[in-house]
Amino acid sequence: MGVCESLYGIFEFFSGHRHILNLDWSARILSVTGTFFNRNYFAGYLIMVIPLGFGLLFSRRTNRPTAFNDWRSRLSSLDGKTLLIGFGLILMILGLLLSASRMGIMSLLLSFSLLIFLLNVPRAEKGVARASVLIFGIAVLWAGWIGLDAVISRFFTASQGLEERWVMWTATLGIFKHYPLFGSGLGTFTEVFPMYRLFHARGLFTHAENDFLQLASEAGLLGVGSLMALFSFLVYRAVTGLRALPRGDPQRYIAIGALVGTLALMFHSTMERNIQVPANAFLYTVMWAIVLRITTGPHIRGGGNQTRNGRANGIAGSF
Give the pLDDT of the chain (319 residues) as one tens digit per residue.
999 999 999 999 999 888 898 888 888 888 899 999 899 999 999 999 999 999 998 888 765 555 555 555 555 556 778 889 989 999 999 999 999 899 999 999 999 888 888 776 554 455 666 777 788 888 888 888 888 887 888 888 777 778 888 888 998 999 999 999 999 999 899 899 888 887 776 777 888 889 999 999 999 999 999 999 999 999 999 999 988 888 778 898 999 999 999 999 999 999 888 999 999 999 999 999 999 999 886 656 555 444 434 433 333 333 3
Residue 127 is classified by DSSP as H
Q: Are 268 and 261 in contact (CB under 8 A)?
A: no
Q: What is the pLDDT of residue 62?
A: 63
Q: What is the pLDDT of residue 307?
A: 41
Q: Name the residue among 166, 156, 215 with its Cα closest to residue 189.
A: 215
Q: Are 238 and 232 in contact (CB under 8 A)?
A: no
The alpha-helical segments, DSSP class H, found in the chain are 2-15, 39-59, 71-76, 80-98, 102-119, 126-146, 149-156, 158-178, 189-192, 211-244, 250-268, 278-295, 298-318
Q: What is the pLDDT of residue 314?
A: 39
Q: State whether residue 116 is helix, strand or coil.
A: helix
Rounded to 5°, the CA angle 129-134-137 comes to 120
Residue 37 is classified by DSSP as S
What is the rounded CA–CA span in Å between residue 262 and residue 107?
Answer: 11
Residue 19 is classified by DSSP as E
What is the rounded CA–CA span in Å between residue 319 and residue 310?
Answer: 14
What is the rounded CA–CA span in Å between residue 41 and residue 33?
Answer: 8
Q: pTM value?
A: 0.84
Q: What is the pLDDT of residue 140?
A: 87
Q: What is the pLDDT of residue 25?
A: 83
What is the rounded CA–CA span in Å between residue 296 and residue 141?
Answer: 40
Q: Name the residue among 85, 20, 26, 23 with its Cα closest to residue 54.
A: 85
Q: What is the pLDDT of residue 311?
A: 36
Q: Are 102 and 153 in contact (CB under 8 A)?
A: no
Q: Name the residue among 65, 52, 40 with its Cα closest to residue 2.
A: 52
Taking the mean position of all CA atoms in its chain, how far away is CA 81? 23
Encoded amino acid at 289, one letter: A
Q: State whether residue 20 is helix, strand or coil.
A: strand
Q: Are 99 and 139 in contact (CB under 8 A)?
A: no
Residue 23 is classified by DSSP as E
Q: Name the residue among 4, 45, 12 with its Cα closest to residue 28.
A: 12
